[in-house]
Amino acid sequence: MPKYVFVTGGVVSSVGKGVLSASLGLLLEARGLKVAMMKLDPYLNVDPGTMNPYEHGEVFVTDDGAETDLDLGHYQRFTRAKLSQKSNVTTGRIYNSVIQKERRGEYLGKTVQVVPHITDEIKSYIRNLTTGSDSDADVAIVEIGGTVGDIESLPFMEAIRQFKFDIGAADCCYVHVTWVPYIEAAGELKTKPTQHSVRALRDIGIQPNVLVLRTGPQILGSDERDKVAMFCDVSKEAIISAEDISPLYAIPLNFKQQNLDATVLNILGITAAHGNLGYWEDIVARLENLEGQVRIAAVGKYTGHEDAYKSINEAFVHAGIANNCKVIVDWFDSEQFEEGPLPDEVLSSYDGILIGPGFGTRGIEGKIKTVRYARKAKKPFMGICLGMQIAVIELARDLLGLEHAGSTEIDPDTPDAVISLLSEQRGVTDKGGTMRLGEYRCDLKPGTRAHEAYGTEVIHERHRHRYEFNNAYREALEEKAGLIVSGTHMLGEHELVEIIELRDHPWFCASQFHPEFKSTPLEPQPVFRAFVKAALAHGAGGSNDSRESETRAAQVS
């Protein structure tokens, strides 16, 4: 039977519960334990798939097609835990499940209430995390979203309070993450907010076993530890300082130095090997000693929210490790290129250009102009999901002369729908959880950039889209626009285009899938790695670019 670690947060949101949970998972895995990871979110949406990235940040997608909170991206980048539909549960999903049971009469006429029915359902989902393929997990780490005291979080807090009575208090560990503000005028870290947060948690009936105190750049001193230990009834050894550390991937090493893993294992009564973090220390050392530098201009729609493209930003960090260079990514709102300066006036100093994913009509023309600039200027270009679709539209307009070519998502009446609705999406009216989601096979064409990057002819990548390349235009684009279809997926008798390239360009590659979702610091994503390598070459002069592109054109023709 697995042990359970419940991670809660206090004082403010975004205090770092996700990174703490992922870091703890990494430390326990280094000791030879198998870890399962889960995020409980208090909002009423059934999943974050219908939420605006400006409110929620990116939607992370798992192999089995779950649209999840972005914290699951942290879990994947730090641990080997298998993430799935089980790994992210919302209030909406819980209530939806309970209401369906009530409609089927499963409660036998009882009055359905938050306690016990909602809390029992939450506990059922928690137990379900470690059944089936994850039944051999030694420790399940369950992060509760929101902040203690929030009305939305109360059912989850009550459920995890009850959980210790269901499986035994010795098999549960409660870790509470709070913020300790630094008052500059007094020159002091103030622990009073933490004391109030722990008091609110204890009012619910949960006594934290471990406190992780987020302090900003300051380091928690002995006096503050003593005060927190006395007023919060937590041993001094179980108080962990979580000062801001860069790079992000050095955070687990800071927790290791403070014996976070040993403290948690002692509370749970688990004996495990000391573990070896040499492989992770090597990653951090490489990050801190990168020799080169490359600048990427990323053009998107949700550039006002730092976490809207979280996995893409992290994938560039990983690609930088693989290429021994620092990758500087600057995000540009594509709308500025529609009526303001042209892309060549703003992006000329960058070594590579990326068009990110997105939905809707806003900023589309600016993205098309950006692709045209990257293509004509021979700058390394990468497109993801909508980015691939925009590239196809640009080629059709400029090289096939189809002036009004477009996507039926953007213009349902376009006379040349080079991007159209997936056949499987026709008739679908519900928005949530109905896209083409999760991992699908892609067959790569030998001699292409994609095949060179992956080093294999069959790959599996994750998707999140409704629209596809229209094969009715494929032959014309291949013959007249220099398009190379380098990756495809067979859907019955229908061949879906997964990756496109350009024949007469040094490095131009765009995918319908989301390669960023599988990137980790230990295994940088191949397309990102190849893109950064091409951008480095371009920044260094790229003297062989034209000859290489001509050779490749001959190989794939």
Task: State the catalytic residues.
Answer: 385, 514, 516
Tokens encoding 387:
């980015």
Give backbone dihedrals phi and psi of 483, rounded to 5 degrees, phi first.
-75, 140
Taking the CA atoms of residue 452, residue 457, residue 458 and residue 464 in that order, the dihedral angle to the nearest 10 degrees is 50
Q: How many helices (H) and strands (E) does the chain have?
A: 20, 23
- Dihedral sign, Cα of residue 385, residue 387, residue 390, residue 391: negative
Instruction: Categorise residue 21: left if φ over 0, alpha if ψ from -120 to 50, beta otherwise.
Output: alpha
Q: Phi/psi at 377 (nearest 5 deg)?
A: -85, -5
The continuous run of DSSP H or E covering 554 comes out as helix 545-556
Q: Cβ of 393: how many Cβ atoms within 10 Å?
A: 25
Residues 185, 189, 193, 194, Cα dihedral to 10°: 180
Whole-angstrom distance, CA of residue 511 vs CA of residue 117: 44
Sequence letter at residue 369: K
Round to whole Å and give the CA distance between 407 and 414. 7
Cis, bond preceding 506 (omega within 30 deg of 0)? no
3-class secondary-structure state, position 333? strand
Residues facing residue 40 across a β-bridge: 89, 144
Matching residue, tokens 């679709």: 389
| Alpha helices (H) in 210-324, listed in sequence order | 222-232, 251-257, 260-268, 278-288, 310-323
Residue 100: burial class (beta carbons within 10 Å; 0-12, 13-18, 19+):
exposed
Radius of gyration of the chain (CA): 25
Judge contact between 536 and 330, C-beta under 8 A: no
Q: Which helix (H) or strand (E) element contains residue 82? A: none
Cis peptide bond upstream of 341, omega within 30: no
Question: Residue 290: what are its φ and ψ, rounded to 5°?
Answer: -70, 140
247 cis-preceded (ω within 30 degrees of 0): yes
Q: How far apart are CA 313 and CA 288, in angstroms?
A: 17
Rounded distance between C-alpha atoms, residue 252 and residue 242, angstroms: 10
Distance (Å, whole) CA 212 – CA 266: 16
Measured in degrees and rounded to the nearest 5, phi and psi for residue 240 equal -110, 130
Please name the residue that has the structure tokens 């040499």: 278
